[in-house]
Amino acid sequence: MAPEALQERRATGSRGRFEFAACALVAFALVFALVGLPLRARADDADPWPPEEQPDVTRLDVERLPPEAIEVTRDLYAHGFYAEAWLGARGYVGGLGDMSNVGPMAAVGVGYELFPWLWAGAIFECSFHGTDAPAPPSPTIFEQLGLLGTLRFQLDLSARAALWLGGEVGAHLLLNDVLETYGYKDATSLGLMFGGSLGGDWHFVNQHTSIGLLGGARMLPSVKGIDDVATIAIHGALYLRYVF
């Protein structure tokens, strides 16, 4: 077959496929138009959906009120079990404060809202601190772990803001034998820890979530240096709470 004839045949085939596709589109459009007209006419004659509901003057359902008419109270929030996470810093006064720096602190807590004004829970926490004392030994890092039970009393200032005060008691563990080198003989043994925290809580519009700031102090009576002064740990943190 001559090249001219082959080229003309290809052009004719392409044009034919294009015309077929155009005709198919037109046919589909006509079919949809013919089918849609009766359906639309039938829909216009039928009852409207969803049906229009007339106001019931004998009921005052909350759902019928505009959003601005619904009063936001703490009864709308979730109550019961909660979990929270802390992120902050801790430093020491007396005892370990003579040879350590302020370090980062993190904690997780779980608990239960017994009453709107009373919360009970448990906290697991850890912090990291660098030593700051003359060598030897050379500067290093030690960790403090803690597990505490807490009882908090909360005062609601508004539907979203609250203040709380909590007492805390539990145990601590310091990880690094270098502390004994500095004269803290019982520092690396499991010891008693007690104190408290004061916090401010702000509830999001979300039913479950709030955020807050807290600060407090803990006494570590068994962590004493050569001057026999007990250690006080002071902490501050930002926390996020989720109530299930």
In terms of Cα–Cα distance, which of 232, 230, 234 is closest to 214?
234
Q: Looking up tokens 């563990």, which residue turns up?
A: 173
- Tell me the pLDDT tens digit for each residue of 39-80: 455 555 555 555 566 655 555 555 555 656 677 788 889 999
Cα–Cα distance, 210 to 77 (Å, whole number): 10
* Cis? peptide before 116, omega within 30° of 0: no
Judge whether 90 and 233 are in contact, CB under 8 Å. yes
Ordered DSSP codes for 94-162: SGGGGTB--EEEEEEEEEEEEETTEEEEEEEEEEEEEB-SPSSSPP-EEEEEEEEEEEEEEEE-SSSEE
The pLDDT value recorded for residue 71 is 76
**Quick one: 188 exposed, middle or buried, by C-beta within 10 A (0-12, 13-18, 19+)?**
middle
Three-state SS at 43: helix
φ, ψ of residue 8 to 5 degrees: the values are -65, -35
Question: Shortest CA distance to 215 belongs to which of 241, 233, 234, 228?
Answer: 234
pLDDT at 9: 45
Q: What is the CATH number of domain 80-243?
A: 2.40.160.20
- The contacts of residue 59 (CB under 8 Å, 6+ apart) are none
CA distance linking residue 202 with residue 163, whole number of Å: 9
Domain ranges of the chain: 1-48, 80-243
Specify the pairing of strand 118-130 against strand 209-224: unpaired
Rounded Cα–Cα distance for residues 23 and 29 (Å): 10
**What integer pLDDT is reported at residue 31 of this predicted model?**
45
- List per-block mean pLDDT (blocks of 10 residues) for the chain, which spans 244 residues: 49 49 53 49 53 57 58 87 98 93 98 97 97 86 97 96 98 92 86 98 94 98 88 98 96
Measured between alpha carbons, how far is residue 222 from residues 63, 112, 143, 173, 187 in Å? Answer: 59, 31, 16, 11, 7
- Among residues 70, 71, 197, 78, the alpha carbon closest in space to that of 146 is found at 197
Q: Looking at residue 53, what is its pLDDT?
A: 60
* Cα–Cα distance, 95 to 228 (Å, whole number): 8
